[in-house]
Structure 1
Amino acid sequence: MPSRSNGPAADMQAVRTLALVGAAAAGKTSLAEALLYKAGAIKACGNIERGSTVSDHDPLERRMLHSLNASVMHLTHAGTRIHLIDTPGGVDFLGQSLPALEAVETVAVVINAATGIEPMAVRMMAYAASRQLARMIIVTKIDAQGVSLAGLLADIQATFGRECLPLNLPDAINRQVVDCFFNRFGRSDFGPVEAAHRALVEQVVEVDAAFVDRYLEEGDVDPAELHAPLEQALREGHLIPVCFVSSRSGAGVAELLDVIVKLLPDPTEANPPSFMVGEGADAQPMQARPDPSLHVLAHVFKVTVDPYGGKMGIFRVHQGTVTRDSQLYIGDGRKPFKVGHLFMLQGKDHLEVARAVPGDIVAVAKVDDIHFDAVLHDAAEDNHVHLAPLAFPVPVYGLAVEPKRHGDEQRAWEILGKLAAEDPCLRIEHVAATNETVLYGLGELHLRVALDRLREVYHFEVRTRPLSIA
């Protein structure tokens, strides 16, 4: 897929990171396509049914017409690099969705206007809040027949709080959305824009007493002066912006890009990631600083394994600068590896770059020892640095697995291990009491997809059966 990238942004204030989360069929993948197209990162919008989207590039995803993996993309808008992660919406694939939260400043909960708020949206909103990430809501398919957007906004506020306020409002007559943060004039499907503008300004100034006094005295504050309190409101969860968009018609897409660039936090403005030093009860908080001149701290939030090309680790840089010549340690490993080739990803396509600064999401390939949740660093004193662990659901749905061909037991174990390396919610175990190899996952669909991958990617056939009772 063609890309107009010309290397990572040198200025952290010109980097944004955004994870698209929410239920299956919320419109995340189509929204990613619309954003990439509008920003000029792709020549045309792909189509899920035709299997031509940037993010759903896995053959299984194209066959099932649903995202199964977290997919990393990037684009540039108004001189700002935006890293996007499209995540699966099924609960069986939380092992792909949750780690994306570790790589971004902002989590965008995507809600389909036609289906409303679904349990996955509630779940991901709670996860994002627990990691102290900025949150926003993007309502898609606003031009669907028979939807009540005003009713949906009321549902959103009832479910997630009155701090959920629209940054723009739909205008069906003109097939567009109307900004209500920088603009206070005009009408929308919800009525006059001024009421929404006042609600936003009042919510933002509440975090700063000086602006409260000015607002009470003058009746309004120029939104251009509210950047610092707006970022504070986002950090503290005092404001959860709501944006409206139609990926099909393009309504609201350009406006959403502007919101991402102008209003969402950059790496210097967000709450710092939850790094820790030490293990167990002795672990102490440590704050990474988004400074490119410091020693490197980066976190591997996704691993892919190619049957022929080996492992690829996808990581977010939190501190320092990674270059092709960087020598990086993996966790407490004693031997560093040389980066050699550093990539930005556009779905399945790799674009080689010279360096990555705090905020950038990049990848290294053919590093055998790299693994999920590893901290990459270039200083010996960081050997015991790690991120506070994510609360993954426990994989309890199990099947006994055995190779169809006698004598392939060791190979089966190795390939299952590669699948588990890509998904922290897959677990393999040998049960000595029954002499069974057991594959555990989050549900029947989760294991079915894993076994399909075993067959289609690794060309390895197995038999499965329910677990024996020891």
Structure 2
Amino acid sequence: MMAYSTTDIRNIALVGQAGAGKTLLAENLLAESGAIRARGSLERGTTVCDYDPQEKQLQHSLDASIVHFDAVGRRVNLIDTPGYPDFAGRSLSVLEAVETAAIVVSAVNGVEPVTQRMMEFTRDRGLCRLIIINKSDNRDAHPEQVLADLREIFGRECLPLNLPTDGGRGVVDCFFNPGDARPDFSSVAAAHTEIIDQVVEVDEKLMALYLEQGEDLAPDQLHDAFEQALREGHLTPVCFVSAETGAGVKELLEIFARLMPNPLEGNPPPFLKGEGPDAERVKVEPDPERHVIAHVFKVNIDPF
């Protein structure tokens, strides 16, 4: 069994409205990473995450499911959560176990009630956030309007790392290696400049270097400031995918591995010392050399 250092781990929860495509997206990530040979189907009841007989019958998630896979040399622990409000408690409980919340939004339906609730809950918890706009290739999709709505509702810090192209059949990178491909809307150069400007705002030295060089900074130069911007809520990256066709999934794996925080980079989870009204909030920084502190976020009782 391969051992992973703390810096190689990414803990991510897929949250959002029911029907946004979280489970099928998880299936695509598992297949693209090589964790499974082929993706399953909701209709056939063969997805990894919806394994419960009732979930197979209803074709939607009833509880959180935990999977893992390797991507770009990193171990990603991914938690797929139910999206119906009836099961909100089962989704909220997993937020204590991750550093990143990936909020999945349908490019067809746009911002929905659960989208707003999850953005609020994850903000209050201090999680780093990534917004994934799914179904960008659907004939009824309006990804440009959805991105505009996200920025209007949640702030101008919602900035795209990539943009859909060819009617959502692919994505064009706006951060790592911006190319000449033409996106369906906006421009790669404008998106690239916006996200770099947003990141360097949190680091005065980097800002000075950026202005002094008069040219782009490499992703490696931006890494620490990028993580700081995520922690402080100064940046909420947005990316586009199609869980139906797999468009943008490979790019999403790279985003998970290279840009999302490891447990040492994310905001530490809150712990309470004591009980009742006298309990004190304690900040516990992750340290592999110190005693283990564990938080149980999910318990299964199997009658068999």
TM-score (norm 1): 0.63
| Greater Cα shift, 179-188 or 40-49 | 179-188
Larger radius of gyration: 1
Structure 2 counterparts to residues 351-390 of structure 1, below 5 A: none
- Identity between Structure 1 and Structure 2 (%): 53
**3-state SS of paired residue (2:175):** coil
2:204 is matched with which residue? 209
Cα RMSD over matched residues? 1.4
* TM superposition shift of 1:7: 4.3
Among candidates 187, 190, 194, match of residue 195 of structure 1: 190
| Residue correspondences, number | 302
Cα deviation 1:181-224 (Å, max 9, x = unaligned): 12333231124311100000000000011122222333332232
Tell me how far apart the structure 1 counterparts of residues 175 and 18 of structure 2 sit (CA, whole Å): 30
Tell me how far apart the structure 2 counterparts of residues 218 and 198 of structure 1 sit (CA, whole Å): 14
The alignment status of 1:147 with 2:147, answered yes or no, reads no
* TM superposition shift of 1:148: 2.0
* TM superposition shift of 1:79: 1.8
Q: Is the 8 A contact 1:12 1:290 kept in 2?
A: no
1:231 is matched with which residue? 227
Amino acid in the other structure paired with 2:82: P
The alignment status of 1:55 with 2:49, answered yes or no, reads yes
Gaps of 5+ in 1: 1-5, 309-470
Tell me how far apart the structure 1 counterparts of residues 67 and 2 of structure 2 sit (CA, whole Å): 14
Q: Is the 8 A contact 2:20 2:106 kept in 1?
A: yes
**3-state SS of paired residue (1:305):** coil
**3-state SS of paired residue (1:210):** helix
Query: For residues 66 and 214 of structure 1, do their structure 2 counterparts lie closer, same or farther at Cα, with a shift above 3 Å needed?
Result: same
Tell me how far apart the structure 2 counterparts of residues 107 and 290 of structure 1 sit (CA, whole Å): 19
1:73 is matched with which residue? 67
* TM superposition shift of 1:146: 3.2
| Greater Cα shift, 241-250 or 171-180 | 171-180
* TM superposition shift of 1:262: 0.3
Cα deviation 1:350-389 (Å, max 9, x = unaligned): xxxxxxxxxxxxxxxxxxxxxxxxxxxxxxxxxxxxxxxx
Cα deviation 1:226-246 (Å, max 9, x = unaligned): 000000000000000001001
Structure 2 counterparts to residues 70-149 of structure 1, below 5 A: 70-149=64-143
* TM superposition shift of 1:288: 2.6
The alignment status of 1:284 with 2:285, answered yes or no, reads no
Q: Is the 8 A contact 1:33 1:54 kept in 2?
A: yes
Tell me how far apart the structure 2 counterparts of residues 173 and 118 of structure 1 sit (CA, whole Å): 23
The alignment status of 1:176 with 2:161, answered yes or no, reads no
* TM superposition shift of 1:285: 2.7
Gaps of 5+ in 2: none
Tell me how far apart the structure 1 counterparts of residues 265 and 237 of structure 2 sit (CA, whole Å): 17
Tell me how far apart the structure 1 counterparts of residues 69 and 218 of structure 2 sit (CA, whole Å): 30
Q: Is the 8 A contact 2:33 2:70 kept in 1?
A: yes
Q: Write out the 4+ residue segments of structure 1 that deviate beyond 6 Å after TM superposition.
A: none
Q: Point out the structure with the larger helix share.
A: 2
Q: Is the 8 A contact 2:62 2:87 kept in 1?
A: yes
1:258 is matched with which residue? 254
Among candidates 259, 264, 275, match of residue 271 of structure 2: 275
Amino acid in the other structure paired with 2:44: R
Query: For residues 174 and 33 of structure 1, do their structure 2 counterparts lie closer, same or farther at Cα, with a shift above 3 Å needed?
Result: closer
The alignment status of 1:161 with 2:155, answered yes or no, reads yes
Amino acid in the other structure paired with 1:145: R
Tell me how far apart the structure 2 counterparts of residues 267 and 97 of structure 1 sit (CA, whole Å): 20
